[in-house]
Chains A and B, each alone.
Chain A
Amino acid sequence: MDESERTKALSAAPAAADDYAQAHQQLGALRSRLGRVIVGQDELIAQLVTAVFAGGHVLLEGLPGLGKTHLAKALAAALGLRWGRVQCTPDLMPADVTGTDIYVTAASGASAFEFRPGPVFAQLVLVDEINRATPRTQAALLEAMQERQVTHAGHTHPLPQPFCVLATQNPIELEGTYPLPEAQLDRFMFKLTVPAPARDALRAMLDVSLDDEPADAVQPLAGPADVLRIAQLCRTVLLGERCKDAAVDLVLATQPDPADGGSAAEPRRHIRYGASPRALQALVRAARVRALMAGRVHVDVADLDAVALPVLRHRVLLRLQSELDGRDVDSLLASIVDAWRRRA
């Protein structure tokens, strides 16, 4: 039985009551282990784990040197996933990502073109500085991220399961970069901003990673089958009508004001484009994982609240005038989420 058949069998088995408790323990252990590698970024780690088990992709944004690549490597190691890395540059071609046909001559003398998979055929793909790749190369990732397959020369190659793309981008040094189009941004479940660590975290970092590379020493806690099993369990987490209504209300709260009026304090007045229905799906999926992390088998409004900002921040576009006025998406969404939380 190969790995894919084993994971299929695992995910098809009916869940038992103990499975939820076991998944909760595993998620907690994973967060704890990653927290020992990436010091002082507990919330970032929780969001990253949430996205992975919800079956989404993550766009990490932060200044250089904050440990984005380090975190991706540690996550892949902790989950026992096969990981690949693509360092994006302006001359990166799509075939460098998806793979290409090469002419192979067998030992018997027969020669033929053979598909050589690219780095996207990994279970955890780190696309570093994705905004430095050309739009053509970025578009090559679209099918892989959404359809989880690669079509090359008329042949469709399925990607391995689980499949997760961790893309990073730098908010500065924007010369020679190609901002991601909205269609591709919408493929990312989360957009996480990597904050600068606090003083205590910086002090602890000296003890952890001054002379060593702790990400290389991370022992796997689980395998791909466990990841799929937990992801399957997350899909059975109960979602009540109250939370469904609350999720819909939150997405609708990000839609622009149709009357183009309202008071200046109305946050919707500054929104040009709101969150998509795909954002609603991502919101609920991620909230299910958060519920399981909290040891519950039912979603609460607090779970939706916890994942609202990472889900929505890259799906909401501000008006040009509001951007020129210095408003940013995060503060606007924070006010929207606060108002929604009081109503829910």
Chain B
Amino acid sequence: MAATSSSDSVEHALQQLLSAVRRHLWLAQAAAAARAACWLGAGAVLLALALHLGVTPVPLPVVPGALALIGLGAAAGALRQRPGDPACALWADRHLGGASAVTTWLELSRTTATVAPAPAARQRLECWLAARLPASRQQLATLATAHRLQRPLLTMLVCTGLVTGVLSLRQAAVPAPPAPSAKSPAATASPAPLAAADPAAADRASALARAARAAADRAAAPGSGDRAGAPANAQAPGRDAALARADARADARADDSPRTASPAQDGAGVPAPGDAPAGAREAGRAGQGSAGQGQGLGDSRDDRADVGVSRAARAPSGMPASELADRPGAGAWQADAATSARFAADASPGSRATMASLPEPAPALPPPATDGPRPSPTEASYVRAWMKASARRP
């Protein structure tokens, strides 16, 4: 009976020791998980910053979300790895002077031993453990648990603050993105998407651009400087730099204008009243004159041939102007039109202040030597006739 009570007391004391060891190990695991989460969180926010600066804007709520996710994962991992009794006993043997007695006793108590031990040996083992346990408990109590959380925590906090600041500054500097339903000038700046979305609208825009160029040409001609009015460039202040090309600006303006006219009217180059610029209205009047002769602006091959484009750099004459506008680099060919519009603005003293705020147009460059197909004799004769006709034009 005395041996049984002694055995029970030893078992109770050992279970207490194992529980204390388990708490110690769990705390150590939690500290390790927290350290890992801090380092991982710092890495995650730095990665978010790199993504934000280099690839795509990262919303600010992503940072706390990622940190919360990492923290939850680390906590779940630490909670899941619950140290079992064998692990606690092994730790006690190794670090608390157990000398393999705790693991041996645990194996005996769990009856995992293949050979039944002598009762005297077991009794002696319990006596040895009972004598050793107070020292082990005291040793465990004096063990300093170094969590070493300061450095990873500080690193994570600094990184998080830095990244939050950068993300906040960047988001304040960049305007809010427009609603998907509203058409912005930037969204219509590229003719290719416009043509893909609505080919008729693209054609109308190209026609407007051609009309603007024709008006600019006429304004640049001697004696007609005062008629030119405000050029197309003056109607697009504050637009994107990509809109500096006259063709693209005209496209954007045509897309911004409310569509009240029929396609036939569009083809004649008559824009809606109110928004239409003066140059475009002038071109519309000229187009009406041509329409009276049975040929609308943009329909004839003369009109399709870009008026302001250097002839040497012209594309094959059989290509319509609407296709030319869609081709890459078409804006570069139209530097002459922009230059002429600048000269027309210089001729108008009232619009100099407005023109001064415009970006410097690209200088006209000589056309590059192309190895394109030479025009056929028919095309060459047509070009010569067109040149004569344009020379006779007032």
Are A238 and B108 in contact (CB-based, < 8 A)?
yes
Given the known inter-chain contacts A296-B128, A297-B128, please indicate yes or no for A238 contacting B121, CB distance below 8 A: yes
User: Which of B99, B103, B127 is A302 in contact with, Cβ under 8 Å?
Assistant: B99
- Bound: A241/B104 CA distance, A: 7
A295 closest partner in B (C-beta) = B128
**B-facing residues in A282-312 (Cβ within 8 Å):** 295-302
Are B100 and A243 in contact (CB-based, < 8 A)?
yes
Are B124 and A242 in contact (CB-based, < 8 A)?
no
Are B118 and A298 in contact (CB-based, < 8 A)?
no
**In the complex, A240 has a CB within 8 A of chain B:** yes
Give the distance to chain A from B296, nearest Cβ to Cβ, in Å.
87
**A-facing residues in B97-146 (Cβ within 8 Å):** 99-101, 103-104, 107-108, 112, 117-118, 120-125, 127-128
A12-20, A84-92, A313-321 - the one binding chain B: A12-20
Which among B99, B112, B122 has the highest number of chain A CB atoms within 10 Å? B99
- Bound: A209/B242 CA distance, A: 109
Given the known inter-chain contacts A17-B123, A298-B101, please indicate yes or no for A238 contacting B117, CB distance below 8 A: yes
Are A242 and B90 in contact (CB-based, < 8 A)?
yes
**In the complex, A237 has a CB within 8 A of chain B:** yes
B115 closest partner in A (C-beta) = A239
B132 closest partner in A (C-beta) = A296
**In the complex, B303 has a CB within 8 A of chain A:** no
List, in ascending order, chain B residues with CB within 8 A of A302's CB.
99
**In the complex, A151 has a CB within 8 A of chain B:** no
User: Which of A21, A237, A241, A242 is B121 in contact with, Cβ under 8 Å?
Assistant: A237
Are A19 and B120 in contact (CB-based, < 8 A)?
yes
User: Which of A14, A242, A243 is B120 in contact with, Cβ under 8 Å?
Assistant: A14
Are A240 and B120 in contact (CB-based, < 8 A)?
no
**In the complex, A4 has a CB within 8 A of chain B:** no
Q: Produce 1/0 per residue, B84-103, CB < 8 A to A.
A: 00000010010000011101
**In the complex, A236 has a CB within 8 A of chain B:** yes
B101 closest partner in A (C-beta) = A298
- Bound: A301/B93 CA distance, A: 10
Which among A21, A243, A297 has the highest number of chain B CB atoms within 10 Å? A297
List, in ascending order, chain A residues with CB within 8 A of B120's CB.
14-17, 19-20, 236
For the residues of B in contact with A, the DSSP-based class is: helix
**B-facing residues in A249-282 (Cβ within 8 Å):** none
List, in ascending order, chain A residues with CB within 8 A of B103's CB.
240-242
Are A15 and B118 in contact (CB-based, < 8 A)?
yes
Are B125 and A238 in contact (CB-based, < 8 A)?
yes
B98 closest partner in A (C-beta) = A300
Are B121 and A296 in contact (CB-based, < 8 A)?
no
- Bound: A238/B117 CA distance, A: 7
Are A297 and B125 in contact (CB-based, < 8 A)?
yes
- Bound: A207/B107 CA distance, A: 51
List, in ascending order, chain B residues with CB within 8 A of A300's CB.
93, 99-101
Between A and B, how many residue pairs show CB distances below 8 Å?
62
B106 closest partner in A (C-beta) = A240
Are B100 and A242 in contact (CB-based, < 8 A)?
yes
List, in ascending order, chain A residues with CB within 8 A of B128's CB.
295-298
Are B100 and A297 in contact (CB-based, < 8 A)?
no
Are A240 and B125 in contact (CB-based, < 8 A)?
no
- Bound: A242/B103 CA distance, A: 7
- Bound: A17/B119 CA distance, A: 8
List, in ascending order, chain A residues with CB within 8 A of B99's CB.
296, 298, 300, 302
- Bound: A152/B329 CA distance, A: 112
B105 closest partner in A (C-beta) = A298
- Bound: A14/B122 CA distance, A: 13
Q: Produce 1/0 per residue, A58-93, CB < 8 A to B.
A: 000000000000000000000000000000000000
User: Which of B90, B112, B121 is A297 in contact with, Cβ under 8 Å?
Assistant: B121
Give the distance to chain B from A236, nearest Cβ to Cβ, in Å.
5
List, in ascending order, chain A residues with CB within 8 A of B90's CB.
242
- Bound: A15/B103 CA distance, A: 23
List, in ascending order, chain B residues with CB within 8 A of A21's CB.
124
User: Which of A20, A240, A241, A301 is B124 in contact with, Cβ under 8 Å?
Assistant: A20
- Bound: A236/B125 CA distance, A: 12
List, in ascending order, chain B residues with CB within 8 A of A295's CB.
128
Are A240 and B104 in contact (CB-based, < 8 A)?
yes
List, in ascending order, chain A residues with CB within 8 A of B101's CB.
296, 298, 300
User: Which of B108, B112, B117, B127 is A236 in contact with, Cβ under 8 Å?
Assistant: B117
- Bound: A62/B270 CA distance, A: 120
Are B121 and A240 in contact (CB-based, < 8 A)?
no
List, in ascending order, chain B residues with CB within 8 A of A298's CB.
99-101, 104, 121, 125, 128
Are B107 and A240 in contact (CB-based, < 8 A)?
yes
- Bound: A142/B123 CA distance, A: 40
Give the distance to chain A from B61, nearest Cβ to Cβ, in Å.
47
Are B125 and A241 in contact (CB-based, < 8 A)?
no
- Bound: A295/B127 CA distance, A: 11
Are A17 and B100 in contact (CB-based, < 8 A)?
no
Given the known inter-chain contacts A238-B117, A240-B100, please indicate yes or no for A297 contacting B107, CB distance below 8 A: no
- Bound: A237/B124 CA distance, A: 10
Are A17 and B124 in contact (CB-based, < 8 A)?
yes
B89 closest partner in A (C-beta) = A242
Given the known inter-chain contacts A14-B118, A238-B117, A302-B99, please indicate yes or no for A297 contacting B93, CB distance below 8 A: no
Q: Produce 1/0 per residue, A217-260, CB < 8 A to B.
A: 00000000000000000001111111100000000000000000
**A-facing residues in B281-320 (Cβ within 8 Å):** none
Are A242 and B93 in contact (CB-based, < 8 A)?
yes
Give the distance to chain B from A245, nearest Cβ to Cβ, in Å.
11
List, in ascending order, chain B residues with CB within 8 A of A297's CB.
121, 124-125, 128
Which among A20, A243, A298, A300 has the highest number of chain B CB atoms within 10 Å? A298
List, in ascending order, chain B residues with CB within 8 A of A16's CB.
120
- Bound: A300/B112 CA distance, A: 18
Are B121 and A236 in contact (CB-based, < 8 A)?
yes
6 A–B contact pairs at CB < 8 A? A20-B121, A236-B121, A238-B117, A238-B122, A242-B90, A297-B128
The 5 closest A-B pairs by CB, nearest first: A240-B104, A300-B99, A297-B124, A300-B100, A298-B104
Known pairs A238-B122, A242-B103, A298-B101. 10 more at Cβ < 8 A? A16-B120, A17-B123, A236-B117, A236-B118, A236-B121, A240-B100, A240-B107, A242-B104, A296-B128, A297-B121
